[in-house]
Amino acid sequence: MNNADTQECKEVIVAPLAAGREVLGLAVVICCIFLLAGLRHVQVAPKEDVTAKISYQIKDVRLKNQAPVLYRSLLGAVDSITWTYEAGGNWPEISELQTESLPPFVGDFLPAGLRGFSWEMHQGETWVDYYGSNKEVAQEEKQGADPLENSFILRIIDLRAGKYPYPYIQGAQEDRFTAQIWMNPQIVDYSEGPLVERGWKWVVSGNSAVNGKVRESTGS
Amino acid sequence: MKKMLRPQLMLVFCLVFFSTQAYAQETKCRLNIGASLHPYYSWVKNIVGDEANVTSIIPPGSDPHAYQPVPSDMQKLENLDAVIINGVGHDEFIKPMLKAIENDKLVVIDTSKGLPLIPVFGKHYAFDEKDGKVSYNSHTYIAITGAIQQMQMIARKLGRLCPDQAGVFVKNVRAYSMKLRNMLQSALMRIDMLDLNNLRIATVHDGYSYLFQELGIEVSAVVQPRHGVKPSARQLQDTIKRIKRAKVNVLFGELDYEKKYVDIIYKETGCRLYALSHISNGEYTKEFFEQAMQRNIDAIIAALTEVSRGSNPGDMSGQMQDNMSRQMQNASQQMQNSVQENLKDSVPTMQQKQMNERMNQQVQDTTKQMQKTVQEKLKDSIPTMQQKQMNERMNQQLRDTKAQMQGAMQEGLKETMPEMQQQQMKGRMNQQVQDMQKGVLDNVAPGAPQQQGKGQ
């Protein structure tokens, strides 16, 4: 009796099925999910900002301290300068801009930290450069103050004139003029020739109409 | 023969001249321009003068963040030649409208194009260096330098649409820019005179970064992360920590910001509270922008002045007090001048007494009414501790003003005047009392309309 019971209740150990197939299936599903997520990311990711990738450019949001104020002020002066140019045929001198009370050429319209800038005008064939440097702040920096962006150039190019300085924007042709703001963290004197080679950075706005295609070749 | 011809020639000349003029008038370009926000309306009005029609897309008093377009708005857009928009998120209501509209000739002028923008305040919203994503502050219009740049761009684009008026637009924008620059220069000069070594500011709403930047003032903290987004308990706690850590001593808010948050922050930090206008609510007028900006600048300078003086942080809102005092004195002075002017002629002696009594009664009633209204307003906007001090000072000021007014009237009434002039005078005085009352209320809510929507 006991033997019969033992035979009936014999313990049978069933080995589990090999999980290889399930694991493979799961791995495939996970891979698919990642693949779809990657595709979606590529689909919705913002387009690369070509202009900001170029080595000699800097985004305006990276400007420090009061430099954004000066940058903004220079951009605000562009139209007044071009209107004067269109009316008179000549690029206005600094004294003319000061008479017109145009910031940043008149320091009274800027916060105290930016009033040390002195400005010069340099005229090219089809463009004009308004160069400003803040030598007062540079002196303070030597004594341990925070470093600032100390030299700026406002370059305005007449696109109808035909021969442009390097680099310039291609694709902003609906306007007669295009403006560029260049910044140098050091105090550097103005000199002729491409700004790129002398350590100047072209300040571009992430939201700017200036974000056309930068022409890498040709120029003066 | 020659003598006979001369008048005929003159007549022909006149006819040709006037018909040419009429033709020129007929063919003159006249744009229909729409503005999505208040400042754009003011700017365009100043740019075009009377040479174009300017309309607002949404009615006055509507909150642009929560606005839901109605069919009549679409009809407005259909008839426009150009529309001025913010482009970075302040007038989102207009995007679906522009998509839906069937007006191919409509030129959309996006004021943010080419404008240097400031990232939204705070680590959660600022740009990420790796992927270059930036969330920008949309309050590009609460600034002077930025406003000038945007107006120049608008003028240029409108000039292209209407070349024969381009010269007028340029001339107007240059004149208006000069006016605004002078406002900025005046503000900077006043700020220069202050000792701001201890200044640390925070704003309830991240709407004033552009303005503070051009005034050379750094914002240390922002309470409300975005439009209509109420801070969570954790965010509020973080803000309080940041305010304390940054030693913030001035908090710029808006009167429609929920009192409980202001109270908590005030209680925890002891910051002074000042109110700024968001410039996107109220009547659409040509002067709206400059007036609102001037009020904002005045409020900022009042705050900075108080910090510079180093007065007690628990003191009441200096800006409100100063503004109220100034406007009440102005109103009182105007009233006195008016009374004295009208009293140059004479009235019968009996009427003098009656009039004097009535005027005294009127002044008393107005004073009571003003106190009541101001107190009601204050309940919703100022921390409780500040309210008591403010009420006391206001009572004293009202007593002084009342005494001044009564004194001036009695002085003036020594002489007499005709009955007709009495009526005129009474009308003017009523008007001035109303103006005075309105001035005080405006001061309590500088730049903010009475029924401003929340979450701006």
B253-271: pLDDT as tens digits: 876 667 777 778 888 888 8
3-state secondary structure of B406: helix
Largest Cα–Cα separation, chain A = 124
- pLDDT-above-70 percentage for chain B: 58
Highest mean pLDDT among A53-67, B26-40, B310-324: B26-40
Mutate to test the interface with A, among B181, B194, B211 (most CBs of A within 10 A): B181
| Mean pLDDT value across residues B162-185 | 93
Average pLDDT, chain A: 79
Chain B hits for A80, Cβ within 8 Å: 152, 174, 177
Structure token pair of residue B247:
């030693």
Kindly determine whether residue B116 and residue A49, on different chains, have CB atoms separated by under 8 Å. no
Domain B31-181's class?
alpha beta
Q: Which chain A residue shows the shortest CA-CA distance from B119?
A: A61
Kindly determine whether residue B216 and residue A101, on different chains, have CB atoms separated by under 8 Å. no
pLDDT at B363: 57
Strand runs labelled E in B195-244: 201-205, 219-224
Q: Is residue B221 within 8 Å of B243, Cβ to Cβ?
A: yes
pLDDT at B256: 63
Length, in residues, of chain B: 456
Kindly determine whether residue A68 and residue B213, on different chains, have CB atoms separated by under 8 Å. yes
Q: Which chain A residue shows the shortest CA-CA distance from B169?
A: A83
Q: 10 Å Cβ neighbour count for A62?
A: 15
Query: B104 falls in which pLDDT band (50, 70, 90)?
Result: confident
* pLDDT above 50 (res B313): no
Residues with Cβ within 8 Å of residue B334, at least 6 apart in sequence:
B432, B435
Q: Is residue B97 within 8 Å of B58, Cβ to Cβ?
A: no
* Beta-bridge partner residues of B34: B55, B83
A152 versus A140: the higher-pLDDT residue is: A152
List the end-to-end C-alpha distance of chain A, in Å, as a whole number: 111
| Mean pLDDT value across residues B239-251 | 83
Q: Is the omega angle on the peptide bond into residue A104 within 30 degrees of 0, that is, cis?
A: yes
Min Cα–Cα distance to chain A from B132, Å: 8
Average pLDDT, chain B: 74
- pLDDT-above-90 percentage for chain B: 26
User: What sign does the CA torsion over A71, A72, A75, A77 have?
Assistant: negative
B51-89: pLDDT as tens digits: 999 999 988 888 787 788 888 888 888 889 999 999 888
B119 inside 8 A of chain A by CB: yes
Query: B31 falls in which pLDDT band (50, 70, 90)?
Result: very high
Highest mean pLDDT among B176-180, B250-254, B357-361, B372-376: B176-180
| Phi/psi at A144 (5° precision) | 110, 5
Min Cα–Cα distance to chain A from B174, Å: 8
Q: 10 Å Cβ neighbour count for B111?
A: 27
Question: Whole-prediction pTM value?
Answer: 0.67
| Phi/psi at B272 (5° precision) | -75, 150
Question: Tokens 């206005």 belong to which residue?
Answer: A92
- Spatial CA neighbour of A181 closest among A57, A52, A86: A57
Strand runs labelled E in chain A: 57-59, 117-123, 127-134, 151-158, 168-170, 177-184, 201-204, 213-215
B336 versus B446: the higher-pLDDT residue is: B336
3-state secondary structure of A152: strand
* pLDDT above 50 (res B323): no
Kindly determine whether residue B131 and residue A45, on different chains, have CB atoms separated by under 8 Å. yes
pLDDT at B87: 86
pLDDT at A210: 42
Min Cα–Cα distance to chain B from A66, Å: 7
| Mean pLDDT value across residues B168-185 | 94
* pLDDT above 50 (res B111): yes
B191 versus B454: the higher-pLDDT residue is: B191
pLDDT at B211: 93
Residues with Cβ within 8 Å of residue B173, at least 6 apart in sequence:
B46, B47, B151, B152, B154, B155
Q: Which chain B residue shows the shortest CA-CA distance from A208?
A: B114
* Beta-bridge partner residues of A77: none
Chain B hits for A75, Cβ within 8 Å: 114-116, 149
pLDDT at B68: 85
Structure token pair of residue B102:
């069937």
Contacts with A, B 65-104, CB within 8 Å? 88
pLDDT at A39: 92
3-state secondary structure of A209: coil
Going by their DSSP bridges, the two strands A127-134 and A117-123 should be labelled as antiparallel
- Spatial CA neighbour of A219 closest among A153, A154, A168: A168
Q: Angle A133-A138-A143 (CA atoms, 0-180°, nearest 5)?
A: 175
Largest Cα–Cα separation, chain B = 99
Topology (CATH level 3) of domain B194-309 = Rossmann fold (3.40.50)
Q: Is residue B373 within 8 Å of B452, Cβ to Cβ?
A: no
Structure token pair of residue B256:
């429609």
Burial label for A146, CB within 10 Å (0-12, 13-18, 19+), is: exposed
- Spatial CA neighbour of B109 closest among B157, B143, B41, B174: B157
CA distances to A136, B39, B50, B279 from B287, in Å? 39, 9, 14, 12
> Interface of chain A against chain B, CB under 8 Å?
45-46, 48-49, 52, 60-61, 66, 68-69, 71-73, 75-76, 78-80, 83, 101, 103, 108-114, 175, 205-210
- pLDDT-above-70 percentage for chain A: 76
* pLDDT above 50 (res A219): no
Residue A113 carries which side chain, given as an amino acid letter? G
CA distances to A140, A149, A155, B77 from A137, in Å? 5, 10, 23, 51
CA distances to A96, B364, B405, B414 from B430, in Å? 52, 13, 13, 21
Walk across the sheet containing B219-224 and list its strands.
B219-224, B201-205, B250-253, B272-275
pLDDT at B399: 62
* pLDDT above 60 (res B103): yes
B114-167: pLDDT as tens digits: 888 888 775 443 434 444 556 788 899 999 999 999 999 999 999 999 999 999
pLDDT at B290: 94
Rounded to whole angstroms, the Cα distance separating B325 from B356 reads: 25
B148 inside 8 A of chain A by CB: yes
Going by their DSSP bridges, the two strands A117-123 and A168-170 should be labelled as unpaired
pLDDT at A141: 60
DSSP letters spanning A112-140: GGGTTEEEEEEE-SSEEEEEEEEHHHHHH
Q: Is residue B97 within 8 Å of B73, Cβ to Cβ?
A: yes
Q: Is the omega angle on the peptide bond into residue A165 within 30 degrees of 0, that is, cis?
A: no
pLDDT at B43: 96
Structure token pair of residue B67:
């606005």
Rounded to whole angstroms, the Cα distance separating B393 from B399 reads: 10
Residue A147 carries which side chain, given as an amino acid letter? P
Rounded to whole angstroms, the Cα distance separating A80 from B307 reads: 37
Kindly determine whether residue B114 and residue A111, on different chains, have CB atoms separated by under 8 Å. no
Kindly determine whether residue A207 and residue B88, on different chains, have CB atoms separated by under 8 Å. yes
DSSP 8-state code for residue B232: P
Burial label for A21, CB within 10 Å (0-12, 13-18, 19+), is: exposed
Rounded to whole angstroms, the Cα distance separating B281 from B207 reads: 14
Q: Is residue A125 within 8 Å of A168, Cβ to Cβ?
A: no
Rounded to whole angstroms, the Cα distance separating B321 from B394 reads: 8
Phi-psi category of residue B379: left, alpha or beta, with phi > 0 → left and psi -120 to 50 → alpha: alpha
Q: Out of A60, A101, A109, whose CB is closest to B116? A: A60
Q: 10 Å Cβ neighbour count for B205?
A: 24
Q: Is residue A98 within 8 Å of A106, Cβ to Cβ?
A: yes
Query: B289 falls in which pLDDT band (50, 70, 90)?
Result: very high
DSSP 8-state code for residue B189: H
Burial label for B15, CB within 10 Å (0-12, 13-18, 19+), is: exposed
DSSP 8-state code for residue B144: S
Mutate to test the interface with A, among B43, B174, B197 (most CBs of A within 10 A): B174
Going by their DSSP bridges, the two strands A168-170 and A151-158 should be labelled as unpaired
* pLDDT above 70 (res B217): yes
Kindly determine whether residue A72 and residue B216, on different chains, have CB atoms separated by under 8 Å. no
Q: Out of B112, B178, B214, whose CB is closest to A69? A: B214
Highest mean pLDDT among A183-192, B152-161, B385-394: B152-161
Kindly determine whether residue A80 and residue B152, on different chains, have CB atoms separated by under 8 Å. yes
pLDDT at B159: 92
DSSP 8-state code for residue A171: S
Min Cα–Cα distance to chain B from A45, Å: 9
